[in-house]
A and B are shown apart, each in its own frame.
Chain A
Amino acid sequence: MADTVIEVCSAGPDSLGREAQLVQWLRGRGSVLVGYSGGVDSAYLAAVALRSLGPGRVLAVIGRSASYPMEQWATARAVAAQLSLPLLEIDTGELDDPRYAANPSNRCYFCKSTLWERLVPVARARGLASVIDGTNADDVGDYRPGARAAQEHGVESPLAVAGMSKADIRERSRALGLPTWAQPSSPCLSSRIPYGSPVTVERLRRIEAAERALRDLGVTGDLRVRDHGDLARIELRPQAIGYWSAVDRRARLAAAVRGAGYEHVALDLAGFRSGSLNVLAGVHAG
């Protein structure tokens, strides 16, 4: 939680002004289909779109697959229910694409291509003017091959257009009463598997079970179980490593992750790093 508070505090003084730009942009489009995961960004975007345009002009769509965490799915549904957000769920099945399952460093391109190939026709069929996603201003410089797929399908990113950073989005989410405002980032489960190592349903289930077991032990905030085959490498918030390093707690971490199906367990000494496996693979932004 401490990390999140710091991030909110770093929001610019004019996050409300940027939100006004976002509202203006949405009203200019008139109606939108939101690619919706229930994460911090897409939940905020859907909420603002709903407030700006009304329920008849907004449709949030969840793309379901094995790489989408069940916990995230539950959150997405709960937030949509809280907001009375029109919601549609579609199976995407990106694991059926061998180019995705081979897990190249541009894996996200194939995932997002599959997603937008399914969602763009839905928007057309329902007469929605624009398909939008939750890419924010902080994402723009990152290595994100999925962004190319969005571009190719004409998907727009109004949070980035309005210059809204993650900190802005958290701050405004809190102001709007969204339960997602302090939610840790939760990229897809495939992001826990090193590039070049195949993505399978079994591996995704094992990762999800290990992370759930760690949450059940009381691990909070950013957490990743990186899947290195028979070895699980746990990344905790750096501030949490001290607490979990007591001998009895380490044993509980190890037992929880072994219970999910890993033979060996290790604790990363640097702790959680977003894009950690990009570093391992030598993939850089730009």
Chain B
Amino acid sequence: MPGDMAALFASDLAEAGLACRVEARERLAIVHPEPGHHLDVADDTARRHVVGLGRKRGFTHVAIALAEAGG
């Protein structure tokens, strides 16, 4: 159930300090950070952690939405 996976993944990310919405497209997760929150994409460790959390929830790919303003 991609929707359930997304909700659980979003919950994991919130626990890790990233408030966000997760959009599931089959086994691809798109992370949309809430306003005022951002993932430090430049940090390899942080990025790998997020990908690892996603994989634990069954996603094969995790991507971060690039907003109009580059968020």
Q: Is the C-beta of A57 less than 8 angstroms from some C-beta in chain B? A: no
Decide yes or no whether B28 CB sits under 8 A from chain A.
Answer: yes
| Shortest CB distance B56–A (Å) | 14
Does B21 sit within 8 A of A, measured CB to CB?
no
Interface residue? A77 (CB, 8 A):
no
Query: CA of A64 to CA of B68 in the docked complex: distance in angstroms?
Result: 36
The reply on A144 being an interface residue by CB < 8 A is: no
Tell me which residues from 19 to 71 in chain B have a Cβ below 8 Å from any Cβ of chain A: 25-28, 30-31, 40-44, 47, 50-51, 60-71
- Which residues of A are found within 8 Å of B65, using beta-carbon distances? 264-266
CA distance A68 to B50 in the complex (A): 35
Interface size for chain A: under 10, 10 to 19, 20 to 34, or 35 or more residues?
Answer: 20 to 34
- Chain B proximity of A242: nearest CB distance (Å): 4
Residues of B within 8 A of A266 (CB): 30, 63-66
Q: Once the chains bind, are B41 and A269 in contact (CB under 8 Å)?
A: yes
Cβ A279 vs Cβ B67 within 8 A: no
> Judging by beta carbons under 8 Å apart, are A268 and B62 in contact?
yes
Complex: A252 Cα to B67 Cα, angstroms: 11
Query: Does A216 sit within 8 A of B, measured CB to CB?
Result: no
A267 CB–B CB distance under 8 Å: yes
Identity of the chain B residue whose Cβ is nearest the Cβ of A251 in the assembled complex: B70
Residue contact B61 to A231, C-beta cutoff 8 Å: no
- Smallest CB separation, A237 vs chain B (Å): 13
Chain B proximity mask over A199-240: 1 for CB below 8 Å, otherwise 0: 000000000000000000000000000001001011000100
- With a cutoff of 8 Å between Cβ atoms, the chain A residues found around residue B64 in the complex are 266-267, 269
Smallest distance from the beta carbon of A230 to chain B beta carbons, Å?
A: 10
Residue in B25, B50, B63 with the greatest tally of chain A CB atoms within 10 Å: B63
**A269 contacts across to B, CB distance below 8 A:** 31, 41, 47, 50-51, 62-64
Q: Could you write out 5 A-B pairs with CB less than 8 Å apart?
A: A231-B25, A234-B63, A249-B70, A252-B70, A254-B70
A sample of 11 more A-B contacts (CB under 8 A), given A265-B66, A266-B63, A267-B66, is: A233-B28, A245-B42, A246-B42, A247-B71, A248-B70, A251-B70, A253-B66, A254-B66, A254-B68, A266-B64, A269-B51
